[in-house]
Amino acid sequence: MKRLIHYAALRESHSGRQNVSRKTYERAIANWPEDDRPREKLLKYGAHTLSNAEFLAILIRTSVEGASAVDLARELLRKFKTLRAISACDPAELREIKGLSTAKITQIKAAVELGRWMMSEERAFEGPIRSSSDVADYLIPLMRDLKVEMFKVVLLDRRNSVLDVVDIDEGDVAKTQPSIRKIMLRAAQAYAAGLIAVHNHPSGDPTPSEQTISSPATWSSRPGDGYPRIRPHYHR
């Protein structure tokens, strides 16, 4: 006798609430009714009709012994609670879930990263930078889940429009050691008229260190008209 499972089909009602109906299906999603298969459901009814588990199931693709792709997706959400937490966790943690191969983990990580970059593209710099919020809105989706400190510089032209965003240094959980030589070299290569220094705090504590506070002043004191102006950076 084929193994059966209970599959909760989530559908959007006209009132905006999710109605949950319990159905008994074979573990192989290919044998489910077409309207309840996540991939076919997405194409036929639209992405808004899928639950987070169904989106993950599309990425996981195939079942394993004793569990469908939807089962694996539900186990992921049970363990990590949110998609953001899944994206931030180490691959070794994902491997603890039976049935998640390296290929499946890579597909999930790649899809989440694409979503992260899409969020940044939607906030892409258009026109001059007018405040620290302009920079934060663009970079926070890319940097907030990093587990180590990353130091970047935003290179500006004379109108404060963005030329490029450059990675300067990757540190540990508490600090980075950006090279002034590398910063100035990258700025010179881009013919930048100014730059904004940016880094994250994996601890979640936005309080700047003494090194953070003193660094912009040190850079600004460098002599010579060839150096770009340094914009103070802000913590949010």
pLDDT digits (tens, 9 = 90+) for 130-158: 888 888 877 887 787 777 888 889 999 99
Identity of the highest mean pLDDT range in 6-20, 23-37, 130-144, 207-221: 130-144
User: Could you read off the pLDDT of 184-218 as tens digits, one per residue?
Assistant: 999 999 999 999 988 888 776 666 666 655 555 44
197 forms bridges with which residues in the sheet?
153
Quote the pLDDT of residue 74.
92
Domains of the chain: 4-119 (no CATH), 125-231 (3.40.140.10)
Confidence of residue 225 (pLDDT cuts 50, 70, 90): very low
CA distances from 142 to 105, 113, 170, 236 (A): 19, 9, 14, 15
pTM of the shown model: 0.49
Spatial CA neighbour of 135 closest among 231, 48, 64, 215: 231
Q: Enter the tokens of residue 76.
A: 């992921």
